[in-house]
A and B are shown apart, each in its own frame.
Chain A
């Protein structure tokens, strides 16, 4: 589904990614963890080219993302993205947030898009919020709308960039619930997260990125119970001492 080979990304003199290889199979849930500044969000943002990779190869659903002949907008509409800061469109109602993509990108008729939009809002438990504006929602509700917005394009994969990091602790659960359901339904997901509980429970594979490289990866049980890399042991030690 997503294949990344030898991905490098440099911001000026700073080399953030120093050769990352990652294959994500259809239906797979991959969680990426790592200290801040390790480059984990950058990997995600390179997949739909919100960040321009310096070198390397990225193939999404058989399309070479880096190829200038590839229609990047088409790839983006096939790979949803959920942001840490939600990035809902504040000047549009919740329903319009969800229907904008289908109407403008897919050319779906408004009535049809709204039916779909209401279904998706119901799916994330926000059917009654359709006419509201983002400002009137809690953080958890905003993030669930953002998930509905990305689902509206019927993407083949969804990229989650620290989807719960900006939320008050009591609102994290409702967002993770929605994500768990998507995972169970077979959605391909790449999730950059600090939620170790979620990674343990939902991920098919957990990846530890540090200093611009994948340092360790594996199925969650083994990954968390028997971390091999000293940096990962150190990182997990720090994370769990706070939990």
Chain B
């Protein structure tokens, strides 16, 4: 039987993927929200005066960056419940994995951006009597945040695509939904092409959104 490409199958598949798409978006948004908080915390700890804080953040970052996310997901979903005697909902596990994983990379983004701000800014802030925290909050962070946007955009795109790995722990996200459709109609070529198109549409949207945000922040300081 010769292979015959059916464009209509691609078109028809996309609406069927919406259920999985919703989960993918939910996990991505939830995971990145907590991932950013975790990353900002770990990034600040990495440059704190406290040795313990620096070390703790360092160990976290190294362990997460040094192991595959697929392993982290399977460890959390299949391994951890054996230890704590309690099942973890796949969706919750998915959000945790994305948060913990992206947090490690975001920590380095945050640290790098903060350290790239000229030390004179800190000195100027401290010289008018601002505390360390106030100097970070009002002087350093707003400038550093602007520099974080391009690498954060990169990380957001990576994390979005990484959610596809969560199919192994039974999260009915986009790729898994596609796989289920293939199991019924055997149109692997068209269905996975449709899945790829949906991922691409999302990553392009993120990239576009971040360009707009970057532009706005730029406009605000240079009228």
Interfacial residues, chain A to chain B (CB-CB below 8 A) = 48, 50, 73-74, 76-78, 80-81, 83, 85, 87-91, 100-101, 104-105, 131-133, 135-136, 146, 149-150, 152-153
Give the residue of A83, A100, A149, A153 whose beta carbon is less than 8 angstroms from that of B123.
Answer: A83
Least CB distance, B119 to chain A, in whole angstroms: 9
Report A-chain residues with C-beta under 8 Å of the C-beta of B128. 76-77, 80, 100-101, 105, 149-150, 152-153
Which residues of B from 118 to 148 have beta carbons under 8 Å from A?
118, 120-121, 123-131, 134, 138-139, 142-143, 146
Q: Given that A133-B223, A135-B221 are contacting pairs, would A90 and B130 also be in contact in the complex, using a CB cutoff of 8 Å?
A: no
B4 at the interface (CB under 8 A from A): no
Contact call B143/A90, Cβ cutoff below 8 A = yes
Q: Given that A83-B120, A87-B120, A133-B221 are contacting pairs, would A76 and B138 also be in contact in the complex, using a CB cutoff of 8 Å?
A: no
Across the two chains, which residue of chain B brings its CB closest to A97? B124
Report B-chain residues with C-beta under 8 Å of the C-beta of A90. 143, 221
Report B-chain residues with C-beta under 8 Å of the C-beta of A74. 129
Least CB distance, B17 to chain A, in whole angstroms: 42
Give the residue of A78, A89, A132 whose beta carbon is less than 8 angstroms from that of B121.
Answer: A89
B8 at the interface (CB under 8 A from A): no
Q: Given that A73-B131, A85-B120, A100-B138 are contacting pairs, would A50 and B146 also be in contact in the complex, using a CB cutoff of 8 Å?
A: no
Least CB distance, A23 to chain B, in whole angstroms: 22
Would you list 30 pairs from A and B whose C-beta atoms are within 8 A, ordered by A residue?
A: A50-B123, A50-B126, A73-B126, A73-B130, A76-B127, A76-B128, A77-B129, A78-B129, A81-B123, A83-B120, A83-B127, A85-B120, A87-B124, A88-B124, A89-B121, A89-B125, A90-B143, A91-B143, A91-B146, A101-B129, A104-B138, A105-B129, A105-B130, A131-B223, A132-B223, A133-B221, A133-B222, A149-B128, A150-B127, A153-B128
Interface size class of B (residues with CB under 8 A): 20 to 34
Report B-chain residues with C-beta under 8 Å of the C-beta of A83. 120, 123-124, 127
Least CB distance, A42 to chain B, in whole angstroms: 13
Report B-chain residues with C-beta under 8 Å of the C-beta of A153. 128-129
Across the two chains, which residue of chain A brings its CB closest to B217? A91
Report A-chain residues with C-beta under 8 Å of the C-beta of B126. 50, 73, 76
Contact call A87/B121, Cβ cutoff below 8 A = yes
A129-B125 Cα distance, complex, nearest whole Å: 21
Report A-chain residues with C-beta under 8 Å of the C-beta of B120. 83, 85, 87
Contact call A89/B129, Cβ cutoff below 8 A = no
Least CB distance, B187 to chain A, in whole angstroms: 53
Report A-chain residues with C-beta under 8 Å of the C-beta of B139. 89
Give the residue of B118, B129, B138, B223 whose beta carbon is less than 8 angstroms from that of A73.
Answer: B129
Report A-chain residues with C-beta under 8 Å of the C-beta of B125. 89
A91-B146 Cα distance, complex, nearest whole Å: 10
Contact call A50/B127, Cβ cutoff below 8 A = yes
Chain B 180-223 per-residue mask, 1 if CB under 8 angstroms from chain A, else 0 = 00000000000000000000000000000000000000000111
For B128, B143, B221, the residue with the greatest tally of chain A CB atoms inside 10 Å of its CB is B128
| Ranked 3 nearest A-B pairs via Cβ | A77-B129, A87-B124, A101-B128
Least CB distance, A114 to chain B, in whole angstroms: 16
Chain B 11-53 per-residue mask, 1 if CB under 8 angstroms from chain A, else 0 = 0000000000000000000000000000000000000000000
For B118, B120, B121, B124, the residue with the greatest tally of chain A CB atoms inside 10 Å of its CB is B124
Across the two chains, which residue of chain B brings its CB closest to A105? B129
Q: Given that A85-B120, A104-B134 are contacting pairs, would A91 and B221 also be in contact in the complex, using a CB cutoff of 8 Å?
A: yes
Least CB distance, A65 to chain B, in whole angstroms: 13
